[in-house]
Amino acid sequence: MTLYRKYRPQNFKDLYGQDHIRDTLLQAVKEDRLSQAYLFAGPRGTGKTSTARLIARVANCLEIDKNRKTGEIKSGEPCGKCLNCLDILEGRSLDIIEIDAASNRGIDEIRQLREQVKFAPASGKYKIYIIDEVHMLTREAFNALLKTLEEPPTHAIFILATTEPQKVLPTIISRTQRFDFGRISLTSLTDNLERVAKAEKFNYSRDALEIIAHMAEGGGRDSLSLLEQVSSYSNDISVDNVKKILGLTESGQVIGLIRAIFNCEAEEGLKIAQGLYDSGSNIAQLNNSILGVLRKILNWLVAGDFLIDDTAENKKNLADLCSAVKNRYPQNSTSSVLAVIREFVEANKNLKETVDPLMAIEVAIVSSTESLKPSLNMGSEFKKASDPAKVLTVASKEQKDPDAALNDKEFKLKVQNDKLSDKKDFSNDQDSSNKKVDVSVSQEAPLPSDSPSALLSDLPDDIWGEVIGALKKDNSTLAALLKDARPITVESGKVVLGVRFKFHKDKISEAKNLKLLEGVICSVTKSNCRVMCEIANFSSQPKKAASDDELAEEAEKVFGE
């Protein structure tokens, strides 16, 4: 017998994590005030069906009925020894009718129920109708059930269970007593797992049980199923075995990946993701883990707490990460976290469409780091410079290492403003035709800034933006990859795209992706073309020479006097 069936609550005292419901129903039993219709709503595995069966037992328990007549009801618990209790426990009672509304959802089944409900119970005081997943009933079936619920026979009790109460007709809800079952807390789940592990004589660690409870997401049945899965491999319920059997991603690696994102270290983030993928981690689970951590960071920034149960070790690591994010982005930490969350929510959608799930995660990592770069707190360092020339000197120096870590104790600054980078040039030669653009396309020589590519690069909204927008309808993943790409040259029908990272180049250069991209470009521009993709560096591409006065004036506009 499976663990979740073996350890199903047999008494109200065993019903853990739903104290308010347990106490209310026990009091109703003691006072002989059981309702004739209940609605149990809540997530899966939180005790709805178990509670319904407990009500069936206490309603028909001969010992409770006997004590009620003498006024000696003390606990309200079923005795578990009388004939009716034993029949229900062993599943042979004719007075307990369980109906799966998912497979018996039509009006004919409800009409049949209405005919049967008229007959008296076979052996107990009540006939108990437990209708599971009641939201699956058709509207016609609901309407047929209305009259019976409004005026049921005195010997009938209806218990409706659902995971989606919003789909139940309001007229049905108004005829029942509604109890909402919440997700079971991490502590309650862990305590129950520990009780079961002791009963089954497993070797276990509390930390391993906490991980299982965390994976169950508030579901008691799910937690026992996961425990059984791990115990099938070994009776040693250790942290290592739990992570190995359940295919979990190391929380430390997930936190390390997120730390790399907020440090704008795309390369480090990609390495961690690739390592997790190579070690066999499930990409969908990895994305969910990343979103889970980001959610906790957001809660911490907004409410000062994680608002979610977690292990002590994870809470400590998360607190350190949250403090680091707050220090990196003191003025806009919340919006920065929201920006990253949006990227991984988009990745979750792309996972369902792409044949290469790792690419969706990689795109989210790179897109996140790119979106965070303009949010870096640069103001304090620039205020220390007494004149714009010093500001430009500091910015120019830091552009040599655009991916410097944010946690360096020395001031590491990067200028991301396009206006400033477009006008910056430290040469005294004013002949723009002799200027060289610092863009390296693969192994080729730099292109002159007055080449045709400059015209196309000056019109991203009109041409390139329109191409990406049109492409998103056909392949959103490819469109996301192309967000950071830039047309370098356009000549004689040949379009050379520059990208920052090798994996971008490899993915875009796949035959099917190139064919799709060429088709969209041709559709937008009304011209035939061929597309090539190369690795390029856009960090210092000027469009025209600028004097020192112009640079100083622009610096004052961007960074203040």
| pLDDT value for 237 | 93
Indicate if 364 and 217 belong to the same structural domain. Answer: no
d(CA 501, CA 503): 6
* Per-state percent for the chain, helix, strand, coil, to nearest 5: 55, 10, 35
Phi, psi of 487 (to 5 degrees): -65, 125
Q: Are residues 197 and 275 in the same domain?
A: no
Q: Does residue 416 fall inside a structural domain?
A: no
Q: Please determine, for residue 310, whether its predicted confidence score (pLDDT) is greater than 70.
A: no
Residue 61 falls inside a structural domain:
yes
Residue 236, domain extent? 186-246
* Residue at 157: amino acid letter: I
Please check whether residues 295 and 215 belong to one and the same domain: no
Residue 36 shares a structural domain with residue 158: yes
The structure's pTM equals 0.61
In a domain, 425, yes or no: no
List Cβ neighbours of 316 (8 Å cut-off, separation of 6 or more). Answer: none
Q: For residue range 346-361, what is the model confidence (pLDDT) as tens digits?
A: 998 888 887 888 999 9
> In the structure, what pLDDT confidence band is assigned to residue 560 with cuts at 50, 70 and 90?
low
How far is it, in rounded angstroms, from Cα 487 to Cα 533?
Answer: 9
Determine the Cα–Cα distance for residues 278 and 258; give it in Å rounded to an integer.
18
Answer yes or no: is 270 within a domain. yes
Domain boundary residue, one of 160, 180, 200: 180
Backbone CA torsion sign across 91, 92, 96, 102: positive
Q: What is the largest CA-CA distance in the chain?
A: 108
Mean pLDDT in residue range 458-471: 71
Residues 17 and 156 both lie in one domain: yes
Locate the DSSP E strands across 105-209: 127-132, 156-162, 177-180, 203-204
Give phi and psi for 125, each to the nearest 5.
Answer: -80, -30
* Cα distance between residue 220 and residue 16, in whole Å: 9
Quote the CA–CA distance of 405 and 265 in Å, as a whole number.
7
**Confidence tier at 448 by pLDDT (50, 70, 90):** very low
User: Which pLDDT band holds residue 331 (cuts at 50, 70, 90)?
Assistant: confident
For 89-146, what is each residue's pLDDT tens digit?
988 999 999 999 988 888 899 999 999 998 999 888 999 999 999 999 999 999 989 8
What CATH number is associated with residue 345?
1.20.272.10
Residue pair 203/195 in contact (Cβ under 8 Å)? The answer is no
Specify the pLDDT at position 311: 66
- Domains in the chain: how many in total? 4
Q: What is the token pair recorded at 250?
A: 């190391």
| pLDDT confidence of residue 549 | 56
Question: Contact, 471 vs 523, CB < 8 A?
Answer: no
pLDDT of residue 378: 42
The CATH number of the domain holding residue 513 is 3.30.300.180
Q: Looking at the structure, tell me whether residues 259 and 366 fall in a common domain.
A: yes
- Please name the helix (run of DSSP H) or strand (run of DSSP E) that holds residue 396, with its range, or none: helix 388-398
Dist CA 232 CA 544 (whole Å) = 69
Tokens of 376: 């870096």
Answer yes or no: is pLDDT of 203 > 60: yes
Asked if 23 and 151 sit in the same domain, the reply is yes
Q: Indicate whether 67 pLDDT > 60.
A: yes
The residue among 147, 180, 213 that closes a domain is 180
Cα–Cα dist 63/73, whole Å: 9
Report which of residues 180 and 414 the model is more confident about.
180
H-type alpha helices, 167-219:
170-173, 186-199, 206-216
Query: Is 281 inside any structural domain?
Result: yes
Within-domain flag for 115: yes
Query: Residue 341 domain-assigned?
Result: yes
Same domain, 156 and 78: yes
Separation between Cα atoms, residue 134 and residue 172, nearest integer Å: 10
Contact between 89 and 23 (Cβ < 8 Å) = no
- Between CA 423 and CA 419 the distance in angstroms is 7
535 Cβ contact partners less than 8 Å away, ≥ 6 residues apart: 440, 441, 442, 498, 499, 500, 501, 502, 505
Apex CA 523: angle with CA 519 and CA 525, to 5°? 115
On average, the pLDDT of the chain sits at: 79
Q: In what order do the strands lie in the sheet with 486-491?
A: 486-491, 494-499, 530-535
DSSP 433: G
Average pLDDT for residues 199-206, to the nearest whole number? 93
pLDDT beyond 60 at 288: yes
Domain final position from 323, 344, 375: 375
**Domain containing 168 — which CATH number?**
3.40.50.300
CATH number for 231: 1.10.8.60
